[in-house]
Structure 1
Amino acid sequence: MLRAHHPTTYIAKIRDTHGKTQHLPHRILPTIRSYFATLYDLPTPETDAGRTLHSQKIHAYLSQHVTRQLTPETALLLDAPLTTEELSDAVKSSKTGKCPGPDGLPLQYYKRFAKILYPRFLVAFNAILEGHTIPSQTQTANISLIPKEGKDAERCDSYRPISLLNCDLKLYAKILATRLTPYVPGLIHQDQVGFVAGREARDNTIRALTIMHRATRQREGLLFLSTDAEKAFDRVNWEFLFATLSQVGLGPNLCTRIRALYSDPTARVCVNGIYTEPFKIRNGTRQGCPLSPLLFVLALEPFLSSVRASPDIRGIRTGRTKHRVAAFADDLLFFVTHPETTLPNLLKAFEVYGNLSNLKINFAKSFLLNVSMPRSKAQSIRPNFSIQWAEDRIKYLGIWLTSDHTLMFRDNFAPMLATISTDLKAWNYPHISWLGRVHAIKMNVLPRILYLFQTIPIDLPRTFFRDLQMQIWNCVWRGSRPRLKFSILTLPNARGGLAIPDFAIYHTACHLQCILEWAKPRKLKAWGVVEQDEAGIPLTVLPWLPKLQGLRRVRDLHYTSATLRIWHRVMRVLDLSSDPSPLTPLLCQASTPTSYTPSIFTDLLQTQTPRIRDVFRDQQLASLTDILGDRAVTFLRYFRYQQIASFIRSIPQRTKLTRPLTEFEKQCMTADLLPHGVSYLYELLQRSNRTPPPAEVYGQLGDDVRNYSVRHTMGENLRPYTPLLGLIKNTGDGI
């Protein structure tokens, strides 16, 4: 039932290359096979001279536009023999329950017979470097067709081909992908956030929203160009791909191992449960292979580099940074200024790259959005380009981008709320248990809402959370009177609740995640660079400034100020920090001279961001000699020290400056980004926002309550799970 909104995969009819609609199965199969056989066998130069010239052009292009390479030491490390530990990790990290490949062997088979299979697999995998190849039977794949939402179901190109590979081949590819993954961020610019470790879709959406708001506020002429790539993964030219891998510095052994995946692959398409005849694959990275996403972004990076390097492709500048493109794999969004010059050169860059790599952009399905360009100028350039113009918004990475930031809620959150309301009503069947409805909310509703919270960092009205909670409430209780408080049901299972999402807390957690990322100046993401350029102040100190001073600095920055307002709203209530805080900066204070810069105190305190905590030792203001250590006391250092001492004496409630750091403040001071940050912050906020659960009542009532006889005498009311268990018994719902 939860999958009811997914389009059916049954193909009742299809149009062939002549535009004729085929209805009969024996006509549909060859039509689809012909399309995909052609897609995976794109034309290449037929003569030796043509192939040589094509290779020369590829190497010349890559020599010019590949600007990042692995070190020889890293390449040597990646070339090492495959190990049992890597194979074991690949098996353990792979999800079970997936559809097997043509050999029919599921992942459970490899887990069950690991001791027998591991040694033989390693011998086979490492033998590839000795000239052995992967058997052709292992390289075959079954292609399942997934219809694209909103596309014409009668067209062959409206289906996304997903390759179901044999598990042994996927394990081999996963080992290679796991080896390569940590080094990909160093090879790929921050413009590309797709399939790169530590980067997310929200990195580009927040960046795009901030740039749109800046261009509108500054009245800079800006267009957004969103391009549509036709079968981008399936068209990749293998010669270009492997030349790119060599150019970025991958060693010969790793390149040989990757080439083995593409030595003799074949595939057959599953159409309505029937398989077509197999056909050979001669281009593309197969969707379904663990290594394919990394290979694709590496192959696309030279093009993005050429866009950044071209002086004739004009982007928008914030501070010292120029922004031209944002990419999530093949979803490209260009920031276009001076379109009369930029657009022709951008189209030329696409043509040059496409001739070498097979990338094909369908400009008839691409869109231009006028963000802040004068209407008369936009109208004058329209006839010059065969690109559609969006009226007032475009969709990028699942969200609607509009130049008017006041419409972001209307265009994104309001429709999502209506869709969720419809879905929840559709699940209101008596045979779905109480816990079943709870799990449906956690698995289906939460990810959709959470994606919007992270990609669109705005301050939402209370009515949104009230309406959403009411819909969730009606679904959980099927419209009847609630028998438990919402605050109890949102508690974690270990504390007597059902872990129903508290969306207001999740929304706050998403904004606090932004603040945690502000606190890492050396790992500031592209969207953070834009916000910092606009704020004119290091983001790492922004949350620790006095409230009015901080908000005044970002009052014109819609998305930054939204995060800062939420921070000041919850920081003291939830004990995340205090005002003042030990992390209060020694720069940019309203009470200090305007000439203060970080470098003034950097010499004295030897830290990039001088804070009050840096001048305290054992809860006392440190002496100048303690701060300097072996360094000499100069007049300038003594003067700076006296400035700091005077500033600290002027702060009210100085006792808060010497308190221990809170858990949130400690996370802000760590050097690394927090993995699974939203989940961690949600749990932190829940702990700060909740009264003790029933499981802790024993401690409050005294030691005697822990005695079984007393507990038995008082009944089961003190058991942490009793309210929920009793409710399940009373309602008769199944689990």
Structure 2
Amino acid sequence: MHHKQSTTMAFTITTLNVNGLNSPNKRSQLIHWAKREKPKILCIQETHLITGQPTRLTNKEYPNQIYANSPIKKKGVAIWFHKSLTPQITKEHPDPEGRYLIILTQIQGQHYTIASVYAPTTKQSTFYRKFFRELNKLKQGRIIIGGDLNIPLQHQVDTKSEKQKNVRPETSTHALNLKKHLKNQALYDAWRECNPKEKDFTYFSYPHTRYSRIDYIMVDKTTLQQLTKAHIGIRTWTDHAPVTISIKLSQTNPSTSHWRLNESLLNNKTIVQECSQILKEYFSLNSTPDISQPTLWCAHKAVIRGQLIKTASLNKKQREQTMLDLTKQLNELETQNKAQPRPQTAKLIRSTKGKIHELELIKINFQLRKLKLNYYTKGNKASKLLAKILQQKQQSQSIDHILDNTGDKITNPKAIADAFATYYSTLYNLEKDSNTPQPLQQEIQTFLLKAKLPQISQDHLDLLNAPIQPMEIQTAIHTTPTGKAPGPDGLPTIYYKTFQAILLPHLTQLFNQIFQQGNFPEEMLKATITTIPKPGKSPTQCPNFRPISLLNCDLKIYAKILANRIKEILPTIIHQDQSGFTKGRQGPDNTRKLLSLIEKANHQKMPVILLALDAEKAFDRVHWQYMTNTLKAFGLQGNILHAISTLYSKPTAQVTNMGFLSNPFQITNGTRQGCPLSPLIYNIVLEPLAKTIRDSTEITGIKAGATEHKLALFADDIILTLSNPKQSVQNAFKILENYSQISYYKLNITKTQALPLNLPKPEQNNLKKDYSFQWKQETLTYLGIELANNIPNTYSNNYPKLLKQIQSQLENWKPLYISWLGRMAAIKIMILPKLLYLFRTLPIMLPQTFLRQTQTTIDTFIWSGKKPRIKRKYMQQLTKEGGFGVPSIENYYKAAILEQLAMWNLSPDHKHWLQIEQENIQPFTLQQLMWSEKPLQLTKGKTIYHTTITALKIWTQQKTKKHIHNFPGKLSPLNILETRIPNLSISNWNHLGILNLEQLITNNTMKSYEELQKEFQLPKHDLYKYLQIRHLLTPYLKNIPDQQTEYEKWCLTKAGKKKGLSKIYRTLLSNENDEKPIHIQKWEKDLNATFTQTQWLQAANAAYKHSQCTNHIENQKKILYRWYKTPSILHQIYPTTSPKCWRCNTEKGTLIHIWWECPNIAPFWTAVSQLLYDTMNLHIPLTAPLALLNHGIQDLPQDLQKLTFHILTSARLLIPRLWKTSTIPTKENLIHLTDSNLTYEQQAPRHSEKATSKDKATQHIWRTWTKTNMNIT
């Protein structure tokens, strides 16, 4: 752990005139300077930022930034607060002209008025009068004003020139006026008060060879008394020197923070090699019998940590040494020049500043290149970068204050961390809480014994207890995401991925020793808790935050190995009622089940109550002794029991807040959120409660067939479906009370939602007297959706609300700079998941108006409200088929329905909702309903549920479109014959393995009975049954298609498997029309050539193959789809405009003419052709199909395709940049752009974990380019 030495808070305030922030370099210089100097408050002047434009600079060090901008690119001020501060800003008062900004804030309980000021050079008295009048109205508490006041207060000491003249004396009107205002406000010049006899200056005028001190920090008397230091810095990257003061605040605890590996070190091959060698030597020398594996492992962390700290420190020192030397030299020159200004000294100062500036630019340009590379490879595509842009906010973990138990504010960061620690220490040590019932071993065993839990099989137990294999560790490391914060040891996942080959043998030995002996080193069990505010709750109360445990990565790898084993056996011991974190189950299984149960209750007018239980801190309160006993009760024993229990032996934690760590505390209960094993363990410890409720004869649910459904669970989200409400609720709460006594489970009654169905008012009123639930009348919230008390209301309570959210979100994105393809990607990653969630959890019939309106909303956003230039069907086509992949909302909706429909071909035992829906259509099955040619005659009193009807309607539509045969289709279930042949019983054939008609048919004829006997062992006495079936099928056999559709194949082999929805969606989108699209027909006419569909697809997908940049893909798509508006098209829209080419002004400006045939553009394409030859020493005939559309690029040698593509792409990018002009791109433009793109392509694999060996093997291509064009670029 790294401790910062200061025992008091050095509260530093700096003011600085930055002379404009409109260039990326200046913004980067400010950010780097501020990061290096670390002022707590930074007052900035002359930002030159314009009112109404996004102004906030992304900077994690200064998350709180407030601006006062100007209507023009002049003036502008800002105030930044360092991340270590938690200012509670109560008022912001910006000057509309951008001359000043006044902020009222509270820092550590003290009120401050802080102002940043940029005074004009003229009419100063008027400005001061206005500013101080506003200040006087607003001021509260202590006052700090930082700014460029553009006037020296004292002529003799605040100015210096080679010839002391032409300086305004301090007796000037403006200076006297300013002094008067300062005196009236009781404000003091902080620097002058600390340095009464010194001369120093903040600005140097080169034309007048004159120094002056015109930048100040003014403070009130109380702040002045706390002043410890004030100094003027060095002018380096801006023409003003910074002025900084330090204020001594009240005592505070020292800031502490854990060391964390700088992951960029592992991008350096030399450092990786050095560390690899050290690791090999360490393990070679220390792997001896007298050193235990845990000791060996924990000591290795100290060794590698020391090496990495040493390397980082040395690198930083080497990087900064030249800068330190130049800064020292500049300081000496400034001191000389201030004492005696001379032109020669001023010239040296300017030269030294230039060298410093060059060094800073090298660093800034490197980081800018990294930023540009990030945008080149990830910008405007479905990525975290785009998601971050769309969210429009920087996630801040800062907590400015917390309320204690008495309601008083806690603002000190360390005190906030300790307040959380106190709260979590109580929560995670319930054995010390006198108000919490303490479980007794006998009570635990009795409860579990009565639950009669299922037992794990011996085969599964053997798998769980098998020694840990290296492959399991490799899988765990590979599947653990990078970029996550590490635990207290500071070693992130990338460390384990980088040195996996060296660490793997030792991890295997370590984990197996722990696995067998059940003894984890305490150091590895430490955790850092970070807090995340819960949505919609006040961020001033500790309970309103979600604790996330940052665990050491080696512990997470170990836990993931156990989780990977347990998840395979979990479905065998956890009932289907639980759909969360269980393999093969999902949330929609629960919601579809609940929809059917609600409909059943309403149809039978059954009095029912739905209870959505709210468990307080469910994961955090798990009792460990109960957990261990539960694992045993399921039959877990041996190594696996020790392996799990050791994770809960002696863990400790500290809470982190704003760089401050609380005191460590022990944990004696709870499963840690952040551990891969936690959700699986929670499912196991919750199952005894669920089974006890399920088995209770005194609790009645909703009966469907032979099964009585009493509850549905998604992890800790429990919903009870109870009939006979009075008795059932009473007995359910008895069980919940008993469960609470043995497990620390705590039900929050007032947050538990209750939705009565068909319950008489008197009975409702009686229940309301006994239970203080949140009583609902129409809907109940479960898993983020609104379950309505009747199915028709389900749509109105969910879908219109979602559409409004989508429209609002898209409206908020309008001002963002996102490209055309970027807007499509935004829909895919931010909007589509929300729609799919509702489609899957609420599979009801949607009105076409909703689907159309949603699609129109999305299309309007993609086209920025303008008329679409490309037909929707092409936009929605899959990208691999030449389209854009814009989501078709209607087809996604249908795919979601059909994905669940495919499960009708499974046994009803797979899902509860299958059982419920099938029970309602007896004596038929869902499979028969699906494949029947005519509607089946249901038993009297039975009705088909809405979810079933919806699926059938969608299915009927698709059968017609996709030419799927109802009967007899090859996929038709065998038992559908029972609906056609009276008194036919086919069950024994099902048992022998004949499930579908496909198994009876070969080459459109029935198999002989002898063939079926041989294949399926049919009994001889079933010959008559066979003859009946053959007689029925013979008329149909000739018309049965030889090939199954893709959906039929899915139903037959993959129903219920992963990725079903996306595969079915692709099937729905498949284009059955062989006619070439209109844009292809136009291109072939222009080019006087014909290409096959395969050739068009190869050309269309070339950009995906050869470039990582979305802009290149967008450019190619726009050309392919003839997106660009040429003079001939513009003439059709605006008849007054000329149809002639902008360049030659003689020929008609068609698309092919503008891009290729114009005589003025021909020399450019000649230059492109020559560049291809010069670079690759290979003559490639440059035709229009190749140059414009990539036709034939796949026929080139493999190692030249990428280079050819990028040269041609650069050419295609340059032409639209000069659209509507007569200017022609030059060869130099082409080389420069190609070089830039190839540089990014070359660097991308180095910075990507997903880089393939093929990517890295193509590096020689760039050498060819560099060698050929070095003299030009």
Match of 2:1224 in 1: none
Residue-by-residue CA offset, 1:504-529 (whole Å, 9 max, x unaligned): 11111111111221111165211111
Match of 2:1188 in 1: 716
Q: Distance in 1 between matches of 2:422 and 2:1098?
A: 74
Q: Which amino acid aligns with 1:574?
A: K
Stretch moving more, 693-702 or 247-256:
693-702
Q: Distance in 2 between matches of 1:233 and 1:200?
A: 20
Stretch moving more, 140-149 or 573-582:
573-582
Match of 1:414 in 2: 800
Stretch moving more, 703-712 or 6-15:
703-712
Q: Distance in 1 between matches of 2:684 and 2:482?
A: 29
Q: Distance in 2 between matches of 1:343 and 1:582?
A: 50
**TM-score normalised by the chain length of structure 2:** 0.53
Match of 1:542 in 2: 929
**1:258 pairs with 2:641:** no
Check whether the contact 2:618–2:746 (CA below 8 A) recurs between aligned residues.
yes
**1:633 pairs with 2:1000:** no
Check whether the contact 2:579–2:585 (CA below 8 A) recurs between aligned residues.
yes
Residue-by-residue CA offset, 1:73-119 (whole Å, 9 max, x unaligned): 32122111111100001111111122222222221111111111111
**1:613 pairs with 2:998:** yes
**1:282 pairs with 2:668:** yes
Q: Distance in 1 between matches of 2:945 and 2:1192?
A: 46
Check whether the contact 2:518–2:642 (CA below 8 A) recurs between aligned residues.
no
Stretch moving more, 678-687 or 455-464:
678-687
Per the TM alignment, residue 374 of structure 1 is displaced from its structure 2 partner at its CA by: 2.9
Q: Which amino acid aligns with 2:1002?
A: R
Match of 2:601 in 1: 215
Change (3 A) 1:286 1:732: farther
Match of 2:564 in 1: 178
Match of 1:656 in 2: 1039
Check whether the contact 1:228–1:331 (CA below 8 A) recurs between aligned residues.
yes
Q: Distance in 1 between matches of 2:1052 and 2:898?
A: 14
Match of 2:489 among 70, 83, 103: 103
Change (3 A) 1:706 1:287: closer
Check whether the contact 2:902–2:1055 (CA below 8 A) recurs between aligned residues.
no
Match of 1:32 in 2: 420
Match of 1:569 in 2: 957
Change (3 A) 1:85 1:732: farther
Superposition CA RMSD, Å: 3.4
- Which structure is richer in relative contact order (CA contacts within 8 A, separation 6 or more)? 1
Change (3 A) 1:404 1:129: closer
Q: Distance in 1 between matches of 2:622 and 2:547?
A: 14
Q: Distance in 2 between matches of 1:218 and 1:728?
A: 71
**1:584 pairs with 2:972:** yes
Per the TM alignment, residue 415 of structure 1 is displaced from its structure 2 partner at its CA by: 0.7
Change (3 A) 1:439 1:690: farther
Check whether the contact 1:616–1:658 (CA below 8 A) recurs between aligned residues.
no
Per the TM alignment, residue 40 of structure 1 is displaced from its structure 2 partner at its CA by: 0.5
Q: Distance in 2 between matches of 1:8 and 1:520?
A: 48
Stretch moving more, 55-64 or 408-417:
55-64
Per the TM alignment, residue 611 of structure 1 is displaced from its structure 2 partner at its CA by: 4.1
Match of 1:189 in 2: 575
Alignment partner of 2:935: what SS? helix
**1:665 pairs with 2:1028:** no
Match of 1:165 in 2: 551
Change (3 A) 1:8 1:362: farther
Q: Distance in 1 between matches of 2:1097 and 2:1044?
A: 35
Check whether the contact 1:572–1:578 (CA below 8 A) recurs between aligned residues.
no
Change (3 A) 1:411 1:31: same
Q: Distance in 2 between matches of 1:190 and 1:96?
A: 33
Change (3 A) 1:6 1:688: farther
Match of 2:835 in 1: 449
**Superposition pairs for residues 119-518 of structure 1, below 5 Å?**
119-129=505-515, 131=517, 133-518=519-904
Stretch moving more, 131-140 or 441-450:
131-140
Per the TM alignment, residue 628 of structure 1 is displaced from its structure 2 partner at its CA by: 3.2
Between the two proteins, what is the percent identity of the paired residues?
Answer: 33
Match of 1:75 in 2: 461
Check whether the contact 2:929–2:936 (CA below 8 A) recurs between aligned residues.
no
Change (3 A) 1:119 1:436: same
Q: Which amino acid aligns with 1:548?
A: P
In structure 1, runs of 5+ residues without a counterpart are: none
Match of 1:603 in 2: 988
Check whether the contact 2:977–2:1029 (CA below 8 A) recurs between aligned residues.
no
Q: Distance in 2 between matches of 1:160 and 1:406?
A: 36
Q: Distance in 1 between matches of 2:876 and 2:812?
A: 23
Alignment partner of 2:596: what SS? helix
Match of 1:676 in 2: 1059
**TM-score normalised by the chain length of structure 1:** 0.90
Alignment partner of 2:548: what SS? strand
Match of 1:622 among 1007, 1013, 1017: 1007
Residue-by-residue CA offset, 1:213-255 (whole Å, 9 max, x unaligned): 1111111111100010000000000111111112212232111
Check whether the contact 2:1096–2:1191 (CA below 8 A) recurs between aligned residues.
no
Alignment partner of 1:571: what SS? helix
Q: Which amino acid aligns with 1:465?
A: L
Check whether the contact 1:421–1:471 (CA below 8 A) recurs between aligned residues.
yes
- Give the number of equivalent residue pairs: 724
Check whether the contact 1:202–1:454 (CA below 8 A) recurs between aligned residues.
yes
Change (3 A) 1:133 1:556: closer
Change (3 A) 1:729 1:172: farther
Q: Distance in 2 between matches of 1:605 and 1:75?
A: 33
Per the TM alignment, residue 25 of structure 1 is displaced from its structure 2 partner at its CA by: 3.8
Q: Distance in 1 between matches of 2:659 and 2:822?
A: 31
Check whether the contact 2:908–2:915 (CA below 8 A) recurs between aligned residues.
no
**1:560 pairs with 2:930:** no
Residue-by-residue CA offset, 1:170-199 (whole Å, 9 max, x unaligned): 111101111111001101000001110111
Q: Distance in 2 between matches of 1:713 and 1:55?
A: 80
**Superposition pairs for residues 33-48 of structure 1, below 5 Å?**
33-43=421-431
Check whether the contact 1:227–1:361 (CA below 8 A) recurs between aligned residues.
yes
Change (3 A) 1:386 1:690: farther
Change (3 A) 1:108 1:36: same
Alignment partner of 1:288: what SS? coil
Q: Which amino acid aligns with 1:480?
A: K
Check whether the contact 1:234–1:286 (CA below 8 A) recurs between aligned residues.
yes
Per the TM alignment, residue 712 of structure 1 is displaced from its structure 2 partner at its CA by: 3.9
Stretch moving more, 272-281 or 179-188:
272-281
| Bigger-Rg structure (1/2) | 2
Q: Which amino acid aligns with 1:683?
A: R
Change (3 A) 1:713 1:539: closer
Change (3 A) 1:166 1:524: same
Per the TM alignment, residue 4 of structure 1 is displaced from its structure 2 partner at its CA by: 4.6
Alignment partner of 1:225: what SS? strand
Q: Distance in 2 between matches of 1:579 and 1:184?
A: 39
Stretch moving more, 477-486 or 502-511:
477-486
Check whether the contact 1:45–1:54 (CA below 8 A) recurs between aligned residues.
no
Per the TM alignment, residue 688 of structure 1 is displaced from its structure 2 partner at its CA by: 4.8
